[in-house]
């Protein structure tokens, strides 16, 4: 289900992808596969964002952040979660916060080769920030984000995402 959800998302069949990933998320949580649960959650969030939904992805991203201390493969989950934080903040009009989150996301590498790179998430955020606040302000705020300790950054972004979850 998870793989089919990801493939449907890449075909831009977002509603179908969301359904598959929602079901996958529940099954994976029930069986204790937190790694794949986090991946399904992130995929479901991306599908919801593509459908113009913000509250639920923000709340679910907070849930993933809360689980990071016990997730395996955090070297993959942290950068992808940071990418998603930046996207949610950008798409909800929190451009300065998005630039800080994007700066931290860009500072945390994703190790090794993966099937889906980060470009599909980072490129639209980068171009959206450049268009909304300009490259100079984006660079300044991005440097502020990059300078943050990863744990402190995730705590800050968690708070911002809770605000999104409560306001949308």
Q: What is the pLDDT of residues 9-25, one digit of tens each?
A: 557 777 777 676 667 66
From CA 28, how far away is CA 14, in angstroms rounded? 20
Mean per-residue pLDDT, 41-65:
93
77: which residues sit within 8 A by CB, 6+ positions away? 35, 38, 64, 68, 71
pLDDT tens readout for residues 37-50: 888 888 889 889 99
- Binning pLDDT at 50, 70 and 90, where does residue 7 land? low
From CA 160, how far away is CA 142, in angstroms rounded? 16
3-state secondary structure of 1: coil
C-alpha separations of 124 from 18, 20, 90, 132 in Å = 20, 25, 10, 12
Using the Cα atoms of residue 30, residue 65, residue 133 and residue 126 in order, give the sign of their dihedral: negative
With 90 as the cut, is the pLDDT of residue 27 above it?
Answer: no
**Six-digit token string for 131:** 């268009």
From CA 72, how far away is CA 28, in angstroms rounded? 14
């Amino acid at each position: 289900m998870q793989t089919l959800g990801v493939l449907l998302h890449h075909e831009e069949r977002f509603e179908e992808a969301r359904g598959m990933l929602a079901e996958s998320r529940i099954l994976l949580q029930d069986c204790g596969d937190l790694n794949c649960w986090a991946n399904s959650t992130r995929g479901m969030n991306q599908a919801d964002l593509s459908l113009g939904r913000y509250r639920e992805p923000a709340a679910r991203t907070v849930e993933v952040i809360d689980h990071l201390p016990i997730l395996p493969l955090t070297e993959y989950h942290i950068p992808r979660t940071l990418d998603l934080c930046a996207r949610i903040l950008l798409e909800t009009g929190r451009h300065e916060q998005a630039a800080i989150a994007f700066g931290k996301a860009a500072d945390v590498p994703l190790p090794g080769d993966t099937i889906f790179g980060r470009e599909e998430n980072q490129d639209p955020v980068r171009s959206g920030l450049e268009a909304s606040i300009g490259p100079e302000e984006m660079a300044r705020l991005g440097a502020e984000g990059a300078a943050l300790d990863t744990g402190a950054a995730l705590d800050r972004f968690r708070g911002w995402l809770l605000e999104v979850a409560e306001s949308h």
